[in-house]
A and B are shown apart, each in its own frame.
Chain A
Amino acid sequence: MMREMWALYVREMKHWYRIKIQIFMALIQPIVWLGLFGQSFNITGFFPPVPGFDPSTFLSGAPDYFSYMATGMLSVIALFTTMFAGMSLVWDRRFGFLTKLRVSPIARGIVPVSRMNSAVTRAIIQALIVLLIALGFAYIPGLIGLTLSPEFNLIDLLGMVLALVLLAVGFACLFISVALAVENQDTLFGLINLLNLPVMFASAALLPLAFMPDWLQAVAKVNPLTWAADACRTFAFHNANPIFPVWQEILFLGIFAAIMIGVSVFAARKLLK
């Protein structure tokens, strides 16, 4: 079982790193987001500094909006990367590779799980690239960089990775399940878009909850993206006032990931008979 899973994981990864444009996209996409969006929307820069007012109190401990947004961007990148796990399944169906898998004696659950593993690997690689770029901005004159807590250490980094892994597992399995159920690629792409933007904006990934109306806050609080982004900030800035305690957010993310793995394996068993 591990052997088949590993073989399919390696195949997915080969597809990814062999296509040069994808590596290029993996690098350029976060630069565009951080560079254009993060720098131009640096809300805290819009207003003259008010004496006695510390922006970090409403930015989950981040010293400025760019730092806030860059840490949230890690979760957004994980979300956007995992949606390709669903797309690749649709291509495999179209080009016949899925037929090969269906005829082979492998357990059906291996199909979503191996795909999820490779999507999570890509998501983490991309998120780490974003983190490095955001940190690197501090060394470019005229740009704001990501400023972490002075006490940031390896445990914090591992904590961030854990939150992002759980988030990516959950969303990868969600998109794979949708791709298993939806036959048409256009429908799938539409569904992914329909899902992605609301998930991104109805969360604390890019904007603090305090800026949102009450109903939106309620939605954002049950959004896994909020849990991951907030957990990342707790680790990055040693934030004392998170939305939920960090252990709770990790627990929620773990439950989300576990349920979604279950759904995708169930979907594969039902739909790939």
Chain B
Amino acid sequence: MAAIIEVKDLVKVFDGKIRAVDGITFDVQEGEIFGFLGPNGAGKSTTINMLVTLHRPTSGLAKVMGMDVVKEATKVRRVIGLVPQDLTVDDDLSGRENMILQADLYNVPKKDAVERINELLKLVKLEDAADRMVKTYSGGMRKRLELAEGLIHRPKILFLDEPTLGLDIQTRTIMWEHIRKLKQEHNMTVFMTTHYLEEADSLCDRIGIIDNGRIMALDTPATLKRSLGGDVIQMSIDDARDFTPQIQGVPGIVEVKKEGSEYRVKVIKGDTAMPAVLKAIIEAGGTVSSVSLQRPNMDQVFLEYTGRSLRDAEQAENSNRGERMARAMAAQRRR
């Protein structure tokens, strides 16, 4: 696998003072789903906007398929697809007309375009609504149309800026399915940003945790979670006896804590250790009245690497940095 996106010491400063992206370096491998996880105002969208040639980096280097995003912008534009956070579909055209326009803008061969448009509309489940004006679409439908448009020219890399922001859970699940399918069927590289932990966790092959314009951690979700020290089995055993020795006899147990009838068992791999733990207790004559497996989630990972939970970060950032950046970016967009 080769690096399809290379970023080195990338910096973006808005209005000469807001350091939206503060010197980040990373590579994205071909065929992987790479995610940026962070609160609003962390610099996720700014990074995407630089990679898709919308913003000029203040300093540093960004290459897409070996092409510089500033010097070879037009070439970069041909091989990437973008599903932006703020929608760009045309309300006063039908879904199909939007697709045709997109095919024309990317010079998709006319004979392929019709077939590809039908295929994509079907993929995003818009074939029945295709000839309706986009202004009659729901938010989720628009987002799906935007996704279909981003794929019309079979881009090598798809950029998704908060692909499921503001969507209901059902639509979100459909989007995830689409993204997974694209990766499997076309070996497409996906670069996405999100501030949903479960999204980053379930979709991405690798995650960069970004906060205040800096990458705090970068690895696979599993490794990031493992770095926190494994799973926890929580059990209640209504018995006066102490089962700690039996539990500790099971391989892979790290630590056992007992508080009354409650046991907290730290373990490397909870899913395989749990049956063995239960078996040991039952063989010793104990009765387990309840059991649950707690795995470290991305929220804990975020907490670990940034020193605050994602929700706290959101609330804090919304009031100042996030808002200032949104304003600065809106000003850039208007340019």
- B-contacting residues of A (Cβ < 8 Å)? 3-4, 6-8, 11, 14-15, 18-19, 93, 95-97, 99-106, 183, 271, 273
Write out the residue numbers on chain B whose beta carbons fall within 8 Å of the beta carbon of A97.
Answer: 88, 90
Closest B residue to A105 by beta carbon equals B77
B54–A102 touching, CB < 8 Å: yes
Question: CA A15 – CA B90 in complex, angstroms?
Answer: 10
Complex formed: what's the CA distance from A102 to B76 in Å? 12
Contact at B74–A105, with CB atoms within 8 Å?
A: yes
Q: Which residues of B contact A96 (CB under 8 A)?
A: 84, 86-88
Contact present for B92 and A100 (CB under 8 Å): no
Select from chain B the residue with minimum beta-carbon distance to A271.
Answer: B335
Instruction: Pick out which of these stretches binds chain A: B10-18, B101-109, B220-228, B266-274.
Output: B101-109
Chain A residues closer than 8 Å to B73, beta-carbon distance? 273
Partner of B92, one of A8, A18, A102, A271: A18
Closest B residue to A6 by CB, please name it: B104
Specify the chain B residue showing the minimal Cβ separation from A181.
Answer: B335
Is B54 a contact partner of A99 (Cβ separation < 8 A)?
Answer: yes
**What residues of chain A lie closer than 8 Å to B91, measured between beta carbons?**
95
Q: Assuming A14-B92, A14-B93, A273-B56, is B82 touching A103 (CB within 8 A)?
A: yes
- With A and B bound together, what is the CA distance between A97 and B53 in angstroms? 16
Is B78's beta carbon under 8 Å from chain A? yes
Instruction: Report whether A4 and B105 are in contact in the complex, using a CB–CB cutoff of 8 Å.
Output: yes
Give every chain B residue within 8 A of A101 (Cβ-Cβ): 105
Given A8-B101, A93-B333, 9 extra CB contacts under 8 A? A7-B100, A11-B101, A14-B93, A96-B88, A103-B52, A103-B80, A105-B74, A105-B105, A105-B106
List CB contacts (< 8 Å) of B81-99 with chain A. 82, 84, 86-93, 97
Check: B241 CB closer than 8 A to any chain A CB.
no
B interface, how many residues as a size bin? Answer: 20 to 34
Closest B residue by C-beta to A15? B92
Please give the distance in Å from A211's CB to the nearest CB on chain B.
44
A114 → chain B closest CB, angstroms: 11
B334 contacts the other chain (CB 8 A): yes
B88 touches A100 (CB 8 A): yes
Given contacts A96-B87, A97-B88, contact A103 B77 (CB under 8 A): yes
List of B residues within 8 angstroms of A3 by Cβ: 104, 107
Report the Cα distance A8→B103, complex, angstroms.
12
Main secondary structure of the interface of A (DSSP, over half): helix
**Residues in B whose Cβ lies below 8 Å from that of A106:** 105
- Complex alpha-carbon distance, A69 and B152, angstroms: 52
Give, as a whole number of angstroms, the nearest-CB distance from B161 to chain A.
11
The answer to whether B56 touches A183, judged by C-beta atoms less than 8 angstroms apart, is no
Q: Which of B80, B84, B105 has the most CB of A within 10 A?
A: B105
Among A7, A15, A93, the most chain B Cβ lie within 10 Å of the Cβ of: A7
**Cα distance A7–B93 in the bound complex, in angstroms:** 12
Given contacts A99-B86, A104-B77, A273-B56, contact A7 B104 (CB under 8 A): yes
B interface vs A, CB < 8 Å?
Answer: 52-54, 56, 73-75, 77-78, 80, 82, 84, 86-93, 97, 100-102, 104-107, 149, 331, 333-335
Bound CA–CA A271/B106 (angstroms) = 21
Which residues of chain A come closer than 8 Å to B90, judged between CB atoms?
11, 97
Which of B53, B56, B75 is in CB contact (< 8 Å) with A103? B53
B87–A7 touching, CB < 8 Å: no
How far is the CB of B116 from the nearest CB of chain A, in Å? 16
Cα–Cα, bound, A239→B89 (Å): 51
B104:A4 contact, CB within 8 angstroms? yes
Q: Which residue of B lies closest to A14 (CB)?
A: B93
Docked pose: A102 CA to B54 CA in angstroms: 7
Cross-interface CB contact of B334 among A4, A15, A93, cutoff 8 Å: A93
- CB-CB < 8 A to B107: which residues of A? 3-4, 105
Instruction: Tell me which of A15, A19, A100, A183 contacts B335 (CB under 8 A).
Output: A183
A124 to chain B, nearest CB (A): 22
CB distance from B5 to the nearest CB of A (A): 16
Give the nearest-CB partner of A96 in chain B: B88
**In the bound complex, CA of A4 to CA of B52 (Å):** 20
- Inter-chain CA distance A96–B146, complex, in Å, is 12
Pair B84/A99 contact, Cβ less than 8 Å: yes
Point out the residues of chain A lying under 8 angstroms from B74, CB to CB: 105
Nearest first, the 3 A-B pairs at minimum CB distance are A7-B104, A100-B88, A105-B77
Q: Which residues of chain A have C-beta atoms less than 8 A from B331's C-beta?
A: 183
Q: Which residue of A lies closest to B74 (CB)?
A: A105
10 contacts between A and B (CB under 8 A): A3-B104, A4-B105, A7-B105, A11-B90, A97-B88, A100-B102, A100-B105, A101-B105, A103-B52, A273-B56
Q: Once the chains bind, are A104 and B106 in contact (CB under 8 Å)?
A: yes
What residues on A are CB-neighbors of B88 within 8 Å?
Answer: 95-97, 99-100
A-chain residues with CB within 8 Å of residue B52 when the two chains form the complex: 103
Bound: A106/B74 CA distance, A: 8
CB pair A99 B333 closer than 8 Å: yes
* Among B86, B89, B105, B334, contact of A183 (Cβ-Cβ < 8 Å): B334
Q: In the complex, which of the residues A15, A101, A104, A106 has the most CB atoms of chain B within 10 Å of its own CB atom?
A: A104
Within the assembled complex, what's the spacing in Å between the Cα atoms of A8 and B101? 7
In the complex the two chains form, what is the Cα distance from A89 to B73 in whole Å?
A: 23
Q: Which residue of A lies closest to B92 (CB)?
A: A15
B103 nearest CB neighbor, chain A only: A7
Q: Which A residues are in CB contact (< 8 Å) with B93?
A: 11, 14
Q: Would B97 and A14 count as touching, CB distance under 8 A?
A: yes
Cα–Cα, bound, A6→B102 (Å)? 12
